[in-house]
Structure 1
Amino acid sequence: MKIIFSPAKDMDFSKKVYSEDLFISEKTKGILKEISLLSKENLKKSLKLSDNLLDDVYDYYENFYEKPFFRAIDLYNGLSFRQLDKNFTEDEEKYIKDYLIILSSLYGMINGLKYISPYRLDMNAKIKVDNLNLKKYWIEEYNNINKNEKIFNLASDEFSSLINRENYEFIDFEFYKIKNNELKTHSTTSKKGRGILLNSLIKNKIENLDELLKIEIENLIYREDLSSKNKIVYILNN
């Protein structure tokens, strides 16, 4: 089993690591080379950055190889990641190492404990490497998970759509809120639900779907009547 998860643009710089070196793939180096050729103004256009973000993102890439570095699961600080209790035990870190894959547009498929340097880049950035946009550039690596692996899909469509579902047993998760007696979903609801569920998977060290469906998760209500073999539905209750 593997759990796939989306990265985040927001970052938390509080858990710095100076003792580890940065190891990145040749594919990541290829993207960094293309970014290094951009002027500050072209970086702004290619990454669709606001004036407020431009200086920070420019500095990320200018100082990319300089310490401190950060563990990916600590650095990402979007809504999904803010649902995690990041005071991980040794057993929980082993679980993360064994099961969690974060899908990044800069680093490719990375484990949550991998050391990374801060960056900002999404799959729709106007950057080409080897004459390929970022989605085409990464699609082969994104399909390097062992065939027939069971995948808990907690990633957004932006990333998970690059994986060929025919090669794997995908379990999708959907999250809703009840408003005016109707089921409503929203990106905020989905992000929050994914984070709550990932936190529960880690804390309970869940290894299969049967184990997951037996536990109660605070703020998530499992709706068996809306679920199927490959789609699990939860109602967000906060």
Structure 2
Amino acid sequence: MEIIISPAKKMRIAHDFLAPRALPAFLEQTETLLAYLRALPPDALRQLLRCNEKIAAESYAQYQQMDLRRGLSPAILAFDGIQYRYMAPQVFETGAFAYAEAHLRILSGFYGVLRPFDGVAPYRLEMQARVRVGGYDSLYSFWGGRLGAAFCPEDGVVLNLASAEYSKAVAQHLPAGTRMVGCVFGELEGGRVREKGVHVKMARGEMVRFLAEHGITDVRDARGFDRLGYAYCAARSDGRRYVFLKQPG
């Protein structure tokens, strides 16, 4: 089983705890994107990133100074969004880190696919960004089938804990015979399952932590997740979608 998660917009430099073990697999493509981003004037970069002037200026300086091979942080420690805070890799034990390295993959608009200990520099580039590079008009077309082809789980299962923005860059291109299982974390409202953004991010992070702490390699065992008040709902689940409902109280 391999697990996919989204990156986070917010990043940090994390040199001091653990060192990176390798460079990202798609560094050549990342270099192409970096050259494109460096050539954009600040206003064009702001429009591409859909951010305010302050963030655009910070991102512009970041890209101008970026070194893709030095001063890097392990990816699993570099991202700092809600999902990563609930995953809490800073307090993983050795076995949990080993599990993450073997099973967890972080999708990225800038780096493609990252293993937890791949070295990364802070960046800002969402998968939905409308890049115009190499004859492509989006990051989805730029990455094409590369990302899906990077997955080859021994049991043929990919557990999807990523947002739709990122998972769709992989789903269409998985090798034949590979099954993607998605997770829904919601609440029953008026007889329907409703997902709430912040709660979903929290649950995804807790799910990764749960899987790592228990060393889970059979996707069916993910159904035992019972943190943050969630419980597996067999009646609303099937072989491609596991539904976890927030319990009253």
TM over 0.5: yes
Per the TM alignment, residue 21 of structure 1 is displaced from its structure 2 partner at its CA by 8.7
Q: Deviations over 1:138-195 (max 9, x none)?
A: 1221121227720001111111112226731111111102457753212223222211
Q: With structure 2 as the length reference, what TM-score do the two structures score?
A: 0.85
Mapped to 1, the partners of 2:242 and 2:225 lie a distance apart of 14
Percent identity between matched residues is 22
CA contact (8 A) 1:36 1:61 kept: yes
CA contact (8 A) 1:177 1:189 kept: no
Matched, 1:160 2:163: no
Mapped to 1, the partners of 2:225 and 2:196 lie a distance apart of 25
- Higher mean C-alpha deviation, range 52-61 or range 87-96: 52-61
Instruction: Give ranges in structure 2 of 5+ residues lacking alignment.
Output: none
Per the TM alignment, residue 93 of structure 1 is displaced from its structure 2 partner at its CA by 1.1
Mapped to 1, the partners of 2:127 and 2:215 lie a distance apart of 31
Over 3 Å counting, the alpha-carbon distance change for 1:95 and 1:26 in structure 2 is same
CA contact (8 A) 1:189 1:236 kept: no
- Higher mean C-alpha deviation, range 15-24 or range 42-51: 15-24
Query: AA paired with 2:92?
Result: F
Matched, 1:117 2:121: yes
Mapped to 1, the partners of 2:21 and 2:241 lie a distance apart of 40
Mapped to 2, the partners of 1:75 and 1:227 lie a distance apart of 33
Matched, 1:184 2:190: no
Per the TM alignment, residue 97 of structure 1 is displaced from its structure 2 partner at its CA by 0.8
Q: Where does 1:10-21 land on structure 2 (aligned, <5 Å)?
A: 10-13=10-13, 15-17=14-16
- Higher mean C-alpha deviation, range 187-196 or range 30-39: 187-196
2:212 alignment partner, one of 189, 202, 211: 202
1:76 alignment partner, one of 65, 76, 79: 79
What is the DSSP-based 3-state SS (H/G/I as helix, E as strand, rest coil) of the residue aligned with 2:82? coil
Query: AA paired with 1:115?
Result: G
Q: With structure 1 as the length reference, what TM-score do the two structures score?
A: 0.89
Query: AA paired with 2:152?
Result: N
Mapped to 2, the partners of 1:210 and 1:220 lie a distance apart of 16
Mapped to 1, the partners of 2:19 and 2:57 lie a distance apart of 27
Mapped to 1, the partners of 2:102 and 2:242 lie a distance apart of 22
RMSD: 2.4
Mapped to 2, the partners of 1:114 and 1:20 lie a distance apart of 6
Query: AA paired with 1:91?
Result: G
Q: Kindly report structure 1 stretches of 4+ aligned residues shifted beyond 3 Å.
A: 17-24, 178-183, 214-218
Over 3 Å counting, the alpha-carbon distance change for 1:84 and 1:175 in structure 2 is same
Over 3 Å counting, the alpha-carbon distance change for 1:117 and 1:166 in structure 2 is closer
Over 3 Å counting, the alpha-carbon distance change for 1:222 and 1:21 in structure 2 is closer
- Higher mean C-alpha deviation, range 42-51 or range 17-26: 17-26
Q: Where does 1:48-87 land on structure 2 (aligned, <5 Å)?
A: 48-65=50-67, 68-86=71-89, 87=91
Task: Report the equivalent of 1:40.
Answer: 42
